[in-house]
Amino acid sequence: MEETERGVMTERSGLRTPPAWAMPGNRWTPWVFWPLLCWSITLLVWRISDGASTVRILVAAGLILVFGSLLAANRAARRKQN
């Protein structure tokens, strides 16, 4: 949004194109998210074996869901591009 002379915010015309590295299906995504997914699985196993609280176990499980979803979405986007 841009500010006009009177201080009123107006919307910019036209859409910004995102940078190339932020587009869906990038090649760097698996290099980042696979290690994070493995770390999250290790954390979940550690939390369960240590007898941690339910909240800590759910946080680790949530991380697995997030990184797994991001990897699946990236793979789908790459298949769509090809």
**With 0-12 CB in 10 A as exposed, 13-18 as middle and 19+ as buried, what is 40?**
buried
For 15-28, what is the mean pLDDT?
76
Confidence of residue 15 (pLDDT cuts 50, 70, 90): confident
Backbone phi, psi, residue 18, to 5°: -70, 155
pTM (2 decimals)?
0.70
In sequence order, what are the residues at sequence separation of 6 or more whose Cβ sits closer than 8 angstroms to the Cβ of residue 54?
none
* pLDDT at site 2: 55
* pLDDT at site 18: 72
What tokens does 57 get?
């176990």
How far from chain centre, in Å, is Cα 19? 16
